[in-house]
Structure 1
Amino acid sequence: MTISVSKTEFRNAMARVCAPVNVITTNGPAGRGGFTATAMCSVTDEPPTLLVCMNSRSSQTGLFVENRQFCVNVLTQEHRDLAGLFAGQQSDMEARYAAADWTNLPSGNQALVDAIVSFDCRLAEARPVGTHNILIGEVVDIRCRRDGHALLYFDRHYVHVPTEAGSYGG
């Protein structure tokens, strides 16, 4: 089978896919780290599992693998600046964390206090695929807030879609 889709064509097409913006954090023996990701999704609910894609060129790759845990923090529209900091606008990790309020989870990870939802995960598998590593995490704890509107990424920009949604009954 011949691949006929170019890297640029694929990237431009993926820019047209709307995705929630997340800050992925880790804390453990290797230290504290974090990055912004839009490539996150559920895998299965038995056991509760999700995946996150992380650029393999990131200097933090080893940190996440060695800590064997991470937390996915789904951002609200109020977190636009924080998303930029964790996307690399700020290289100093302590300055990134100082820009928001965090709570310590039983695992040792830190969760964004006002995230829409935070998924605390044990790293089940890290697998390289092309330019990225797929981090597969088994969810060990969940923190949800009952309101808030997700920060989304579309056409290479952060966007907000006005809606009456934003709360759940459970």
Structure 2
Amino acid sequence: MTDKAIFRAAMAQLGSAVCVIATDGPAGRYGITVSAVTSVSDDPPSLIVCVNRASGANAIIKQNQTLCVNVLSSEQQDISHTFASGQVPADQRFGAGAWTVSALGNPVLKDVAAWFDCRVDRAIEYGTHTVLFCKPAHIAVSETANCLIYHGRAYHRIQSYE
């Protein structure tokens, strides 16, 4: 069995985009910062989002059956902190940043690098997390924003090279 500390240290070397997962619907509105988002397939377009079962967002996302993956821009580190912090109550987090509402009714953060407005297709419990298989109904990509990356337990800004 692999030691948890070694596993976490190795995973810290895997850079990933920082995202705010936001949902709204019958179970209410909720948002959290996650870095466990990845594509599954482009046919059909799909992605996975991993949410800790202990998170308040978990049950709400499962009940709402929709979510928006807001891929933060390199200028939105403060928003990541707000949605990751246990210090900021869930109902006050959306005071950070400017928000609109998607066609599915989910909160969409303005000025992000990209966003995916999704329906949850399947939820699988695995270890401490729920793996949510999501199908995007709407996608938008910024032509100017670079995404915020989390690597080595710190934030990094990605710059485009031409």
Partners of 1:41 and 1:80 lie apart in 2 by 20
Is there any run of 5+ residues in structure 2 with no aligned partner, and where? none
1:77 and 1:55 mapped to 2: Cα distance?
Answer: 25
Partner of 1:106: 103
Q: Is 1:157 paired with 2:154? A: yes
Q: What count of residue pairs does the alignment treat as equivalent?
A: 162
Q: Would you say the 8 A contact 1:23–1:72 is kept in 2?
A: yes
Give the alignment's TM-score, normalised by structure 2.
Answer: 0.95
How many percent identity over aligned positions? 38
Does the CA contact (< 8 Å) of 1:70 and 1:122 recur in 2?
Answer: yes
Structure with higher Rg: it is 1
CA distance in 1: counterparts of 2:106 and 2:87, whole angstroms: 20
Give the deviation of 1:59 after TM superposition: 2.0
Unaligned runs of 5+ in 1: 166-170
User: What does 1:100-139 correspond to in 2, within 5 Å?
Assistant: 100-139=97-136
User: What is the distance in 1 between the residues matched to 2:86 and 2:142?
Assistant: 27
Instruction: For residue 114 of structure 1, give the secondary structure of its aligned residue in structure 2.
Output: coil
1:1-170 matched pairs, under 5 angstroms: 3=1, 5-164=2-161
How well do the aligned residues superpose, as a CA RMSD in angstroms? 1.2
Mapped contact 1:25–1:71 kept (Cα < 8 A): yes
Instruction: Give the TM-score taking structure 1 as reference length.
Output: 0.91
Q: Within 1, Cα distance between the matches of 2:94 and 2:107?
A: 10
Give the 3-state SS of the residue equivalent to 2:84 in structure 1.
helix
